[in-house]
């Protein structure tokens, strides 16, 4: 029977499949960071075990690290202890750590791909739900809990039930300001925050094929926001060209390519579910509530209560109470106090280039704090080489050091209670960016527009000329 790419990758990793038990799945690669790994290493230590294959694990520090210039002003002693613990664990168990100033420290989902460690057909896990990012390369990548991290450390395997598969097919040609971030927000709005639960998604369609690797990572990154543990995009020449430029990706690339091409979905293969998303003429998306599905296109108003399905009305009411907005309110024109450009969703060089293109020769609006946090030291270095840092600083924005920062606000980078933040991150949950902080998710382009205007704005309604160079590399 013809199989899709998800089924093929799964089948290639089954160590054992027994009736009445989850499959034993071989994990090719594991990424580690300071927050979810200490207890897993401790488990290993207590069991008196070593790491099954240290050379197929890598670690970096991201969540707890300060992003100020010297990166020593920890929010509290616990943040520092987590990082020191990771250093100690990596040393003891022989795991490669991309530490501060290694040239590759960064958000784990930015660092892995830029090194070329994420490759098609691999199974990749990390104690972080945005591990789905790596699906952009045609890998089956998903978040796991700390107990499973310890299983992978000890055995390179985990127990998991075979997932269902869903094809998400994009059709149509969106408006000129619509970006990859908008495509995934459009999907989440359509199928809901639980619509992908139990599935692994394969994204297809011309829009996807035209996306560069960074844009594909943005889309796959937020698969988890519709409940899907993983989402992937079949590898193609765009994927191979990206890998060719990376230190680990270029090794035996030609031989591997033949294998990678054999992974593609076969003709006639079916999925457990099929979703077609028509993005024709669509405009950029902005969230108004406290789930990533509560969004509108920039020209639209927040829905009226009765326009929403009954099952969503009560949550929408609570969400609007938190975000201090009303049913039917216009989203364009909403004043904003903070702009955060960062996170594993949108802090790669293409994102920073696009923000710089908008900011160049302009000023961040008075009273607005804009901070830009590169995804990794490599992104930071490239941004400096291109002079993007100067554009940011001249416009009045802060250019900080790499890390997760205000995406989940556990390193001290927070948004004040009651203030709004135009954020390029992935979650607008209650209190996510700080107690009482109000998050509006959007693309880096839309965040940059909000920065110069001091409010969330429809780019169509702006009189001055704006540069909208697409981030494609």
**Which residues between 303 and 342 bind another protein (CB under 8 A)?**
311-312, 314-315, 318
Strands 398-399 and 420-423: unpaired
| Nearer residue to another protein within complex by CB, 83 or 325 | 83
Show Cβ contacts of residue 210 under 8 Å, excluding neighbours closer than 6 positions: none
Is 418 near another protein (CB under 8 A)?
A: no
Is 171 near another protein (CB under 8 A)?
A: no
Least distance (Å) between residue 116 CB and another protein: 7
Tokens representing 115 are 């090194």
- Paired strand residues for 24: 16, 159
Binding test (CB under 8 A) with another protein, winner from 2, 103, 145, 418 = 145
Cβ contact 377:105 at 8 Å: yes
Per the document, the length of the chain is: 473
Q: Which of the residues 451 through 470 are near another protein (CB under 8 A)? A: none
Q: Which of the residues 14 through 33 are near another protein (CB under 8 A)? A: 15-16, 20-22, 24, 26, 28-29
Least distance (Å) between residue 232 CB and another protein: 16
Cβ contact 115:126 at 8 Å: no
Q: Which of the residues 424 through 453 are near another protein (CB under 8 A)? A: 427, 429-432, 435
Cβ contact 374:105 at 8 Å: no
Q: CB 410: neighbour CB atoms within 10 A?
A: 17
Binding test (CB under 8 A) with another protein, winner from 144, 183, 277, 449 = 144
Q: Which of the residues 215 through 254 are near another protein (CB under 8 A)? A: 224, 227, 229, 248-249, 251
Site string for another protein, 379-408 (x = CB under 8 A): -----------------------------x
| Nearer residue to another protein within complex by CB, 286 or 409 | 409
C-alpha closest to that of 287 among 439, 389, 143: 439
Is 121 near another protein (CB under 8 A)?
A: yes
Cβ contact 353:343 at 8 Å: no
Least distance (Å) between residue 70 CB and another protein: 21
Cβ contact 364:396 at 8 Å: yes
Q: What is the DSSP string of 210-228?
A: TS-HHHHHHHHHGGGGGT-
**What's the sign of the alpha-carbon dihedral 60, 61, 63, 69?**
negative
Q: Tell me how many residues contact another protein (CB under 8 A).
A: 82
Least distance (Å) between residue 418 CB and another protein: 14
Tokens representing 299 are 């020209």
Binding test (CB under 8 A) with another protein, winner from 60, 67, 133, 156 = 156
| Nearer residue to another protein within complex by CB, 119 or 238 | 119
Q: Which stretch binds another protein (CB under 8 A): 1-9, 112-120, 170-178, 323-331?
A: 112-120
Starting at the edge strand found earlier in the chain, the sheet holding 14-16 runs 14-16, 23-26, 157-160
Is 259 near another protein (CB under 8 A)?
A: yes
Site string for another protein, 85-104 (x = CB under 8 A): x----------x--------
C-alpha closest to that of 319 among 303, 297, 342: 303
Is 207 near another protein (CB under 8 A)?
A: no
């Amino acid at each position: 029977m013809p199989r899709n790419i998800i089924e093929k990758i799964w089948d290639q990793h089954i160590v054992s499949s027994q009736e009445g038990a989850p499959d034993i799945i071989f994990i090719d690669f594991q990424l580690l960071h300071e927050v979810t790994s200490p207890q897993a290493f401790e488990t290993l230590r207590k069991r008196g075990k070593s790491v099954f294959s240290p050379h197929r694990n890598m670690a970096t520090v991201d969540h707890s690290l300060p992003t100020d210039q010297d990166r020593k002003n920890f929010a509290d002693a616990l943040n520092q202890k987590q990082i020191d613990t990771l250093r100690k664990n990596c040393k003891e168990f022989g795991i490669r750590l991309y530490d501060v100033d290694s040239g590759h420290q960064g958000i784990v989902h930015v660092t892995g791909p830029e090194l070329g460690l994420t490759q098609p057909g691999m199974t990749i896990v990390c104690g972080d739900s945005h591990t789905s990012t790596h699906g952009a390369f045609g890998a089956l990548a998903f978040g796991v809990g700390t107990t499973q991290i310890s299983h992978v450390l000890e055995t390179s395997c985990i127990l998991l039930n075979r997932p269902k598969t869903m094809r998400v097919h994009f059709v149509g040609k969106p408006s000129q300001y619509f970006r990859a971030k908008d495509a995934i927000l459009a999907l989440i709005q359509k199928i809901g925050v639980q619509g992908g639960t139990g599935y692994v998604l394969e994204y297809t369609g011309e829009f996807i094929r035209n996306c560069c690797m960074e844009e594909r990572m943005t889309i796959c990154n937020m698969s988890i926001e519709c409940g899907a543990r993983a989402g992937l995009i079949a590898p193609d020449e765009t994927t191979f060209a990206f890998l060719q430029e990376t230190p680990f990706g270029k090794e035996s690339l030609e031989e591997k390519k033949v294998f990678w091409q054999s992974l593609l979905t076969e003709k006639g293969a079916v999925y457990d579910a099929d979703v077609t998303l028509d993005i024709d003429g669509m405009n950029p998306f902005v969230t108004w509530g406290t789930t990533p599905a509560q969004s509108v296109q920039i020209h639209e108003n927040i829905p009226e209560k009765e326009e929403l399905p009954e099952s969503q009305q009560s949550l929408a009411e609570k969400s609007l109470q938190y975000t201090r907005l009303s049913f039917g309110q216009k989203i364009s024109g909403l004043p904003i106090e903070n702009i955060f450009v960062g996170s594993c969703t949108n802090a790669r060089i293409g994102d920073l280039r696009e923000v710089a293109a908008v900011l160049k020769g302009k000023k961040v609006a008075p009273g607005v704090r804009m901070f830009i946090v590169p995804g990794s030291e490599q992104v930071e270095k490239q941004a400096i080489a291109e002079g993007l840092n100067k554009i940011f600083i001249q416009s009045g924005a802060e250019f900080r050091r790499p890390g997760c920062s205000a995406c989940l606000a556990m390193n001290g980078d927070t948004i004040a209670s009651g203030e709004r933040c135009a954020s390029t991150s992935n979650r607008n949950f209650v209190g996510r960016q700080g107690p009482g902080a109000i998050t509006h998710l959007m693309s880096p382009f839309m965040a940059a527009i909000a920065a110069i205007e001091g409010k969330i704005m429809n780019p169509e309604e702006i009189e001055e000329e704006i540069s909208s160079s697409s981030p494609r590399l």
